[in-house]
Structure 1
Amino acid sequence: MTDTTTAARIPLTVLGAGAMGAALVRAWLAAGHPVTVWNRTPARADALATEGATVAASAAEAVAASRLVIACLLDDASVGEALGGADLTGRDLVNLTTGTPAEGRARAAWAAERGARFLDGGVMAVPPMIGAPGSGGYVFYSGSAELFDEHRGALAVPAGTRFVGTDPGFAALHDVALLSAMYGMFAGMAHAFALIGPEDIAPKDFAPLLVSWLGAMSGSAHKAADQLTSGDYGKDVVSNLAMQVAGSATLLRTAEEQGVSPELLTPYLALMERRVAEGHGAEDTTGVVELLAL
């Protein structure tokens, strides 16, 4: 948690008192910021009143209470609905509601039409990581650089901050890109645990091996980034695509022997096979990125 001076402990408003919204409110209260909170279900906001928050009867009232307004609601439609009757003139709106890049850009234009500066955010943390020093949680921000610079200290209280550009869609894009990679990793872990499931191999004994292996392999992202930048997918190849496709048959036979569905593997393997069929067998796996463009 970033320490703030008395002058920097500006009042702010939080719209949304769900698990993440409540965690944000508590972090700012703990740092000495006066916080006004509103939630569609009043009981959730009322619970924060006992911890020092001021509860507003409406979203419009909450917005009127502070120049800096944080939205942490269910979805983009909820943001538009909650703020539909609020006067945003002169307000700094920071949207920490999970959304898409297109929604971030559209919401920025919507806010500008109503006289507000806008910053979109992608929260790379779960509620227990908010306001917890050393948790590793952070938030991507994109949109108004001036807004970010002015409120950097307050925004850094709940979690680390990473400004990724003036395009309002970039925070959501970074957020979803990392989450997509995470789910790919989860898919691989699920398949791995399923393979050992029928055997006398304790998952707790296997887990450290899995963590170590995935950690070692994750470094290949740097090489892939270099190859994508240069356009040379044959640079620094250790195990070429043709070799990996040939070896993938063993993965599929093992899954069959263990009674495990290969459905988490086959989509990626199919892309690899397609890339080889198109004459790129000497390259690294990075080239499959080109096959994903619609």
Structure 2
Amino acid sequence: MTDTHTTAQRPLTLIGLGDMGTALARTWLAAGHPLTVWNRTPAKAGALAAEGASVAAGPAAAVAANTLVVVCLLDDESVGSALEGIDLTGKDLVNLTTGTPAEARARAAWAEDRGARYLDGGIMATPTMIGVPEAGGYVFHSGSRALFETHRAVLEVPAGSRFVGEDPGHAALHDVALLSAMWGMFAGISQAYALTEGEVAPKDLAPLLSEWLGAMGFFVGNAAERLTSRDFTSGVVSGLAMQITGAGTMLRTAEEQGVGTELIAPYVDLLRRRLAADPAAHGGEDTTGAILMLKR
């Protein structure tokens, strides 16, 4: 059967209606896309029926309804469970489920063995950012470039898209890399609030934290340049040996304040190991060289 829909009306299927899946569904419906949905818990699908979604009786019916099938489930195991035994021949499978690079590569091979084209995705947004362009959310995509270009206009309805390569694992890799940086930042912010708890009002510390973290944003580009050149010493103002001395002050202050150090001690230990490996060579470096210590 010939698809007579325009790109703006192109139909699709969405499997998985958690908070993120529901947010995705509502943006596609609001943009006029005929949408078939399925969720293991029927009540969530029923709520979207009132907004115009077609509710499939099961995952096989949902997959059969459209060529473009988007999956947004809890984890990779859930994807395999939901699609087990379903004919994927001729389907374009876009997997927005959070997973690891290895899981994405294995799932791509799994889909292709079943006759489907595959595109992996990593959503860099919270559900409240979906459908709100000014919020800045976007989705990493990797895998089939042709598949991405075919459905790009549809995929960009909920949030912007950034294609990061033909390797199906690269969307997950980019996703987890950015999330890892975010968690590290959250850990540092948590340490700061714990240190000042009961002595400095959080509302007074908040603008100072925001300003300082913004000023330290230069480290991102600086680290990229140093990792590329492998030059960790040029232009360094405060070398690794000095940084470790300062870290001792942070640890002692935490002890004085009755605050644990489990959020920052591992990083301090990493810097110490870098210095101990060759004090003469590494003492004048910035902290970027310690990144190499993380590689196994």
Name the structure 2 match of 1:42.
42
Q: Distance in 1 between matches of 2:107 and 2:72?
A: 14
What is the DSSP-based 3-state SS (H/G/I as helix, E as strand, rest coil) of the residue aligned with 2:9? coil
Per-residue CA deviations over 1:7-44 (Å, capped at 9, x if unaligned) read 43210000011111111010000111000000011111
Aligned AA (2:283): G
What CA RMSD, in Å, does the superposition of the two structures yield over aligned residues? Answer: 1.1
Aligned AA (1:56): A
Q: Distance in 2 between matches of 1:236 and 1:73?
A: 47
Name the structure 1 match of 2:206.
207
What is the DSSP-based 3-state SS (H/G/I as helix, E as strand, rest coil) of the residue aligned with 2:216? helix
Q: Is the 8 A contact 1:198 1:258 kept in 2?
A: no
Name the structure 1 match of 2:256.
257
Q: How does 1:142-291 map to 2 (within 5 A)?
A: 142-199=142-199, 201-279=200-278, 280-291=282-293
Q: Distance in 1 between matches of 2:234 and 2:112?
A: 46
Q: How does 1:114-129 map to 2 (within 5 A)?
A: 114-129=114-129
Report the TM-score when normalising by structure 2. 0.96
Give the unaligned 5+ runs of structure 2.
none
Q: How does 1:10-159 map to 2 (within 5 A)?
A: 10-159=10-159
Q: Is the 8 A contact 1:227 1:235 kept in 2?
A: no
Q: Is the 8 A contact 2:7 2:154 kept in 1?
A: no
Give the unaligned 5+ runs of structure 1.
none
Q: Is the 8 A contact 1:248 1:269 kept in 2?
A: yes
How far apart are residue 113 of structure 1 and its match? 0.4
How far apart are residue 6 of structure 1 and its match? 4.2
Q: Is the 8 A contact 2:7 2:153 kept in 1?
A: no
Residue range with higher mean Cα deviation, 220-229 or 241-250: 241-250
Structure 1 residues 149 and 27: alpha-carbon distance in aligned structure 2, compared to 1, 3 A threshold:
same
What is the DSSP-based 3-state SS (H/G/I as helix, E as strand, rest coil) of the residue aligned with 2:135? coil
Aligned residues: 289
What is the DSSP-based 3-state SS (H/G/I as helix, E as strand, rest coil) of the residue aligned with 1:134? helix
Q: Distance in 2 between matches of 1:224 and 1:169?
A: 24
How far apart are residue 242 of structure 1 and its match? 0.8
Aligned AA (1:262): T
Q: Is the 8 A contact 2:8 2:31 kept in 1?
A: no
In percent, how many aligned pairs have the same letter? Answer: 66
Q: Distance in 2 between matches of 1:51 and 1:235?
A: 59
Residue range with higher mean Cα deviation, 190-199 or 30-39: 190-199
Q: Distance in 1 between matches of 2:225 and 2:247?
A: 25
| 1:292 aligned onto 2:291 | no
